Amino acid sequence: MPRGALIVIEGLDRAGKSTQCDRLVTRLKTSTPTLLRKFPDRTTPIGTMIDAYLRSTSDLDDHAVHLLFSANRWEASSAIKAELEAGVTVVVDRYIYSGIAFSRAKGLDGAWCRAPDVGLPRPDVAIFLDISEEAAAERGGYGEERYEKKEMQRKVRQDFLELRDDERDAGDWAVVDAGQSVEEVEENIWKAAQKGIERARTKDLRTVV
Ligand code: ADP
Ligand code: FDM
Ligand code: MG
């Protein structure tokens, strides 16, 4: 039995990640067992701490919360590996790149930010939904959460685009213009996802380096 593919969807707030994850999962499910996961997973004890931080009901040191976001991925990592080995394709709404990009945008060192994620399951494809912070803001006013501010989003986008060129992730990234219609974006994500599915069919799962 072939293993499942690990397909990561990344992008700014309101880029359309959740909309497109649902569409991708629905479409994949017609031909292969598929699961959706989301980070942060706010349902676990660690996720509860992250949730309180994001809603500003608690304050945490930037480094401490960065490690919580990573720990929130680690606590799901054995389950993700087991799912992939069992032939289930896993679509993930945000993953390590959100972790690095948001913390770097707050001024943390890039190498320090990446270190706790080294060893996690590596995506077969990471699809970045690219949108300008202006276009994202037009999709509805910013909400209440901590990072939903234009200047922060601008920095995060820059960081995402720099991460795309990191040679440790060479070949993983696909960038999709998220400013198009929902249907056009869905089609381009579908094409990009095929790359990850093909990789999973022919190659072993790797770990983040
Ligand atoms: P994210 O999960 O990245 O924050 P969502 O999928 O929740 O983004 O979408 C944010 C908002 O933008 C929602 O109101 C959604 O209906 C809308 N939206 C999503 N994709 C598009 C698109 N391609 N064009 C216009 N509006 C969109
Ligand atoms: N975020 C998300 C981080 O700062 N680090 C991470 O590792 C992850 C996965 O948390 F502002 C940020 C990104 C975003 C917030 O928002 C989560 P959603 O709406 O739950 O995706
Ligand atoms: Mg979302």
In angstroms, the first-to-last Cα distance of the chain is 27
- Establish whether residue 18 lines the binding site of ligand 1, counting it when its CB lies within 6 angstroms of any ligand atom: yes
Tell me how far the alpha carbon of residue 96 lies from the centroid of ligand 3, in angstroms.
Answer: 15
- Residue 7 CA to residue 172 CA, distance in Å, equals 10
12 alpha carbon, closest ligand: 1
What's the pLDDT band for 144 if we cut at 50, 70, 90? confident
Complex ipTM over 0.90: yes
Q: Decide whether any atom of ligand 1 lies within 6 Å of the 107 Cβ.
A: no
| Amino acid letter, residue 75 | E
Name which residue sits closest to atom 19 of ligand 2, judged by CA: 13
How far does Cα 209 stand from its chain's mean position? 16
Of all residues in the chain, the percent with pLDDT exceeding 70 is 100
CA–centroid distance, 1 to ligand 3, in Å, is: 32
Cα distances (Å, whole numbers) of residue 16 to 4, 81, 138, 139, 205: 24, 26, 12, 9, 27
Within the chain, strands assigned E span: 6-11, 34-38, 89-93, 125-130, 173-177
- The pLDDT-based confidence of 142 (bands split at 50, 70, 90) is confident
CATH number for region 6-202:
3.40.50.300
Residue 141 has pLDDT above 80, yes or no: no
Pocket-testing residue among 9, 17, 19, ligand 1, by greatest number of atoms within 8 A of Cβ: 19
- Name the 3-class secondary structure at 41: coil
Is pLDDT above 80 for 102? yes
Rg (CA), the chain: 16
* Contact by Cβ (8 Å): 59, 53: yes
Average pLDDT, the chain: 97
Closest to 41 in 3D by CA, of 98, 108, 93, 114: 93
Chain segment 158-208, per-residue pLDDT in tens: 999 999 999 999 999 999 999 999 999 999 999 999 999 999 999 999 999
- Using the atom order of ligand 1, give the atom closest to the CA of residue 93: 2
Which residue is closest in CA terms to ligand 2's atom 13? 98
pLDDT, tens only, 41-67: 999 999 999 999 999 999 999 999 999
Beta bridge partner(s), residue 127: 9, 174
The ligand 2 site (C-beta within 6 Å) comprises 13, 39-40, 54, 69, 94, 98-99, 102, 147
Above 90 in pLDDT, residue 1? no
Report the atom number in ligand 2 closest to the C-alpha of 102: 4
Instruction: Note whether 196 and 5 are within 8 A (CB).
Output: yes
